[in-house]
A = this chain, B = another copy of it.
Amino acid sequence: MSKRPKISPKQPIAERSGPDAPAGLNQIPLLQILSAQDRQKVLGEMTETRYGKGEYIFREGDPTEYFHIVKEGSVKCVKSSLDGKECTLKVLMPGDLFCCDASAFDGASHPGTAQPMGDVSVLRMKKEAYFKMLRANPDAAMEVIRYLGNRLNEAQEKAKVLALDRADQRLASLLVNLAERSGIKDPNGIRVTVRLTRQDMANMVGVTTETAIRIMARFKKDRLVTGTAARLVIRDLPKLKLLAST
């Protein structure tokens, strides 16, 4: 894993070449939908930026100027309350779009903060070029509508879980989601590739760090999970699913 860059190098995508550049871009449905010609044009208008831990892609309240796509790594969307408590709304992974809705650009500012989790690479495009692209490509517009609809359903499901479930059920739901969205096979079960501390998990399900630690300790004792941030493994997905919905 590379070290955190002190500066964030920017470069036009069109200048990039080499065998792995197209491979990363293959993971992005919105770009796959475009014709080769349109894709080249869009890539010419996009800029790639790398960020490291501790940096910000943008912060709550900043003016909104760009449309973004996650290319590599994960990005967390965070909102804060006045008294310093934080809530992580969503972990974005490669292919995820953000600030992809026109509402974000009605002269408004960012409703939340986007923070890299480790080293990430993000593609950006001026909003004007983005809107032009959507108007010219009904397929792309439909893909954005589909994507936003999925995000909305996810957000509402999350609201439901926060409104109705106990802390241990919310954590179980989170672990099930993580297993499905970022899990890879492991001798002992499913390994979660996103690196999440107990504090990160706490912020994702609306509990204190202590509560997250206590519940995870109980899950470990009950052989549902093992390990911490660096190597979190789901050992019993069915039982977690059951707990999440009981």
Q: Is A39 an interface residue (CB 8 A)?
A: no
For A79, A85, A100, A136, the residue with the greatest tally of chain B CB atoms inside 10 Å of its CB is A79
0/1 per residue, A26-55, Cβ < 8 Å to B? 000000000000000000000000000000
Number of this chain's copies in the assembly equals: 2
Q: Is A159 an interface residue (CB 8 A)?
A: yes
* Given known A141-B138, A246-B82, contact A112–B205 (CB-CB < 8 A): no
8 Å CB interface, A161-186 against B: 162-165
8 Å CB interface, A189-216 against B: 205-206
* Contact assessment for A149 and B87 in the assembled complex, using a CB-CB cutoff below 8 Å: no
Question: Count of A residues near B, CB < 8 Å?
Answer: 47
Closest to A147 in B: B103
CB distance from A34 to the nearest CB of B (A): 15
Instruction: Please report A residues at the B interface, Cβ cutoff 8 Å.
Output: 77, 79, 81-82, 85, 87, 89-90, 100-104, 106, 111-112, 131, 134-136, 138, 141-142, 144-153, 155-160, 162-165, 205-206, 245-246
